[in-house]
């Protein structure tokens, strides 16, 4: 939103809560008090819209069971269908997840096929399929780091001594900064319809990312737990996601001038050295 507003674009964004509405306003956009499923209620506001960005996938907070994650596919598809009907022939850009490529060590790119969709990606894949008749631009991103991304969650968990490495922790965790993800969406708007991948070239393992955080004072190195045991506390879908290799690289977006500006190492060092919650006592 901030990126578009900087270009002088009027931005409307749905908000389901007062907190979300405040965040939309702070970003310089105009909140619409509805959600994607209630999209029929703002046809008039959308009449002059030139493009639609779909960022409204269901939240997937732990504990997240596999069944619960997969059940989110139906409402995600229904919301995407409603959005496509509202957009008509206007371009749609959807923020999706690189988890749709499945567990893999060789980095996936753009239209590469999936090696098996994990539960955590079920809602995103369902939305992608629902939008397919509208010829959208799909931007698949990996773990996103930033003030509200996976890096912050890890930092808080390590400071509170609640985070554990899942499995051998040698699985790949492709990363992308939040601002870079936003820039990728804007870049995709001017690209032909299709699937686009966006990620930093340096892909750490789960263990390397945690080790980089623990290099900052105040973060204890965690123990390792088997995926099955981790599933008891965080749910099978989340345990599976943390323990699988998320390998993705940038494809055709690079040909359109997009490249990540942030770096996961610098980002987590800033976050880890900031004012996140610290353990008591």
The confidence score (pLDDT) of residue 43 equals 65
**113-138 pLDDT, tens digit each:** 999 999 999 999 999 999 999 999 99
> Residue 281 has what pLDDT?
40
User: How sure is the predictor about 256, in pLDDT bands with cuts at 50, 70 and 90?
Assistant: very high
Q: Which residue has the tokens 């269901």?
A: 58
pLDDT digits (tens, 9 = 90+) for 3-57: 666 666 677 676 667 777 787 777 777 776 665 555 555 666 667 788 889 988 8
Provide mean pLDDT across the span 80-106.
93
Q: What's the 3-state SS for 102-114?
A: CCCCCCECCCCCC
Provide, rounded to the nearest whole percent, the portion of the chain with pLDDT above 70. 86
Burial of 129: CB neighbours in 10 Å, binned 0-12, 13-18, 19+: middle
Q: What is the end-to-end Cα distance of the chain in Å, rounded?
A: 40
**pTM of structure:** 0.88
Residue 231 has pLDDT above 60, yes or no: yes
Percent of the chain with pLDDT over 90: 60
Query: Residue 127: which residues within 8 A CB-CB, separation 6 or more?
Result: 54, 57, 76, 77, 79, 80, 94, 96
For range 250-266, the mean pLDDT = 96
Q: How far is CA 129 from CA 8, 60, 111, 218, 249, in A?
A: 32, 19, 14, 44, 22
Range 220-246 average pLDDT: 93
Alpha carbons 263 and 175: distance in angstroms, whole number: 9
* Ramachandran angles phi, psi of 111, nearest 5°: -90, 15
Q: At 247, list the tokens.
A: 């390998």
Q: Which CATH superfamily is domain 34-272 in?
A: NAD(P)-binding Rossmann-like Domain (3.40.50.720)
**Structural domain boundaries of the chain?**
34-272
How much is the mean pLDDT over the chain? Answer: 87
Average pLDDT over residues 222-237: 92
Residue 87 has pLDDT above 80, yes or no: yes
| pLDDT of amino acid 45 | 67
């Amino acid at each position: 939103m901030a990126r578009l507003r900087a270009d002088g674009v009027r931005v409307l964004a749905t908000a389901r809560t007062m907190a979300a509405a405040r965040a939309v306003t702070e970003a310089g956009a105009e909140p619409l008090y509805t959600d994607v499923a209630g999209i029929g209620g703002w046809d008039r506001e959308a009449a002059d819209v030139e493009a639609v960005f779909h960022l409204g996938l269901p939240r997937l907070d732990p504990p997240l069971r596999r069944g619960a994650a997969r059940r989110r596919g139906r409402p995600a598809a229904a919301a995407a269908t409603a959005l496509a009907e509202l957009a008509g022939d206007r371009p749609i850009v959807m923020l999706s997840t690189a988890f749709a490529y499945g567990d893999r060590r060789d980095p996936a790119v753009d239209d590469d096929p999936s090696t098996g969709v994990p539960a955590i990606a079920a809602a995103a894949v369902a939305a992608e399929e629902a939008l397919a008749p509208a010829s959208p631009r799909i931007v698949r991103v990996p773990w996103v780091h930033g003030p509200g991304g996976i890096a912050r969650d890890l930092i808080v968990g390590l400071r509170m001594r609640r985070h554990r490495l899942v499995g051998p922790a040698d699985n790949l965790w492709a990363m992308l900064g939040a601002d870079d993800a936003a820039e990728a969406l804007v870049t995709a708007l001017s690209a032909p319809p299709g699937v686009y991948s966006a990620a930093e070239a340096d892909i750490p393992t789960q263990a390397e990312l945690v080790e980089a955080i623990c290099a900052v004072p105040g973060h204890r190195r965690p123990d390792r737990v088997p995926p099955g045991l981790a599933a008891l506390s965080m749910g099978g879908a989340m345990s599976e996601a943390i323990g699988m290799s998320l390998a993705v690289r940038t494809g055709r977006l690079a040909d359109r001038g997009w490249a990540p500006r942030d770096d996961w190492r610098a980002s987590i060092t800033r976050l880890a050295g900031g004012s996140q919650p610290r353990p008591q006592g």
